[in-house]
Amino acid sequence: MKRLELAIESIILASRWLLVAFYIGLGLALAVYALSFGKKLYEFITTVFMLGDTDTILKMLGLIDAALVASLVVMVIISGYENFASRFDDQDGGGVHWLGTIDVGSLKVKVASTIVAISSIHLLQVFLNSSSYSTDQLMWLTIIHLAFVVSALMLAYIDRLMGLSKGKKDEA
């Protein structure tokens, strides 16, 4: 019976390597998104002298938004791999020690914060172009943004509570 239990545990533990397919897929998606970013940047550069101030700001906010999304993907890939698949090796002393500092709780808070930042940028873009939106659309976009903000605050609060309770357990 013990051999069966050990075999099952080995299979379950080895299944974490299936996550690597997702991380590689996210890396490929990030490469495609980088091409999309390059296109947006090229369009911005080629039209910058024909744009007004508001349109210039809107284009730059779009680029910032893309950079935040890309950072979010990298954060998920690196910390997901570190937390669930394997630790990165630091054979050449290249300084990958910082990669393992984001635990699952911190990752959730960072992801939520990034989503709030992306939502904030999108909402700013909408308000700069508010004539294209109805009052109801503006209201719902604001409510959705506030839901993201409240969710991020709650995740941060829960993460802090978990940190405090972990600290109390460590003291005991």
pLDDT in tens, the chain (172 residues): 888 888 888 888 888 888 999 999 999 999 999 999 999 999 999 999 998 888 888 888 889 989 988 988 988 888 888 877 777 766 665 555 555 566 667 777 788 888 888 888 889 888 888 888 999 999 999 999 999 999 989 988 888 887 766 665 555 5
Residue with token string 């172009």: 129
Question: Can you give the pTM of this predicted structure?
Answer: 0.70
Q: Rounded CA gap, 24 and 45, in Å?
A: 31
Alpha-helical regions (H) of the chain: 2-14, 19-47, 53-80, 104-128, 135-171
Q: Is 129 helix (H, G, I), strand (E, B) or coil?
A: coil
Q: Rounded CA gap, 127 and 100, in Å?
A: 39
CB 119, CB 147: distance < 8 Å: no
Dihedral sign of CA atoms 134, 136, 137, 142 in order? positive
The span from the first CA to the last CA of the chain, in angstroms, equals 36
pLDDT at res. 100: 56
Q: Is 55 helix (H, G, I), strand (E, B) or coil?
A: helix
CB 58, CB 97: distance < 8 Å: no
Q: Rounded CA gap, 29 and 33, in Å?
A: 6
Q: Taking CA 160 as the corner, what is the angle to CA 154 and CA 162, rounded to the nearest 5 degrees?
A: 105
